[in-house]
Amino acid sequence: MSAESRSLVAELIASRGDEQTCRARLEASEARAQEFEPWLKAFVYRPDSYETRNVAGKPLAGLPIGVKDLMATHDMPTTYGSPIYAGFRPAEDAWIVERIRHFGGIVFGKTVTTEFAWREPGPTVNPWNRLHTPGGSSSGSAAAVGAGIVPLAVGTQTVGSVIRPAAFCGVVGYKPSHGKVPSAGVHPLAPSLDHVGFFARTVEGAAICHALFVDAKPDAIAHLDAWTRYFTARRPRKLGVIRTPFWDRVTEDQKANFDATLARLQAAGATLVELDPFDAMPSMLDALQIILQVEAARAVGPLAADYPDLISQHMLALTTAGAAVPAEQYEAALALQGRLRSEFAGFIDGCDALVTVPATDAAPGGLADTGDATFCAPWSFLGVPAVTVPSGQSQDGLPLGFQVLGRQGDDLPTLQTAAWIETALR
């Protein structure tokens, strides 16, 4: 389950004109899936064969990529994790899927999602220990990368659905700034909070996704010199350490790992400054819940009404609560979100990035609960870029992570800081 040692960019550049290498890479993923999928259950659908013609010479050069089953694929079933859509095939691809194919990537399969990206879990287990959750809602995407089946996967995050499962599965998770990746063709849960994000084995893999799907700069991976000019690890001048008002929820294992990681970064040359918790954070979580409830009621409520026998109690409770929220309370929550997004830039001023934990602990046991999203929720509410990198293991041998946060729109610098942290932790 370890991160790949070779540079993914170097591998893509080397294989770009070689269809045979592209085919060999795909076959390796197929073999890995055949070995792991009987118990991992990361994919809800994989095609019987793949079209690899005409991918050589393109930036992703036949790279197998997992796609969360919340995203429309015209040639594969798209169920959104719900029996309501069993066998459904959309007329066209989601924007992110079309871009993957445009750049020569191969949609290796549809990865398991919780129901409409909310709490009802699917069958996927954690690749490190099958008795534990992989996290949610992007369960299959995190597990598929964590098991080494695919080098990249796409997910979504409304509250904590990229960063938390990435940490639980021992991989890199990257949530771009809100709205940086178009969500066309992705089933909404709460559009004011929904983000499209990525899973990778290394920060470099996440940066490739950023170059192609956020910056729209495929020339950045045309050759190694271009990549070096575009993306290099960058040692931060100052990191702001934020423990938040919810630090009592963090386990001793996670706290010890966080403090040990900070010590290693300081030894590597980073200046650390302890920041007071963002005062408005508790009210942020209350406002997030209001926005989530109201917008989920709009997005999924009509389905819950039409198919009461096919909707989970989790979703029914969410949409019912949302339908009862007064309009003025919802508008106040949106106003708070807009105001605090502006204020956050001042809060982070003087720091290259903030750092905190991605979750309260390693992956919980069992599959009924996908984990506590408290340490992801504020950053989803603010819409700022977030990256989690593996930072060690719990006493039970499960992965732990370390979360890096940047200013709204400063996605590339945040990734560069995360890459330096990743290197310092090796």
Which residues are designated catalytic? 68, 137, 161
| CA–CA dist 234, 416 (Å, integer) | 5
Closest by CA position to 359, among listed 202, 178, 166: 166
| CA–CA dist 267, 310 (Å, integer) | 54
φ/ψ of 293, rounded to 5, equals: -60, -50
Letter string b/e over residues 66-84, b meaning 16 or more CB atoms within 10 A of that residue's CB: bbbbbbbbeebebbbbbeb
CB 381 within 8 Å of CB 406: no
Residue with tokens 């690899």, as numbered in its chain: 52
78's enclosing H/E stretch is none
| CA–CA dist 234, 124 (Å, integer) | 35
Query: Within 10 A of 408 (CB to CB), how many other CB atoms are there?
Result: 18
Give ∠ CA 236-242-243 in degrees, rounded to 5.
Answer: 140
Letter string b/e over residues 178-195, b meaning 16 or more CB atoms within 10 A of that residue's CB: bebbebebbbbbbebbbb
Beta-bridged to residue 152, according to DSSP, are 65, 200
CB 295 within 8 Å of CB 322: yes
Residue 264 tokens, joined: 């290693």
CB 37 within 8 Å of CB 148: no
Residue with tokens 């605090």, as numbered in its chain: 340
Give ∠ CA 400-412-373 in degrees, rounded to 5.
Answer: 35
First-to-last C-alpha distance (Å) of the chain = 15
CB 330 within 8 Å of CB 291: yes
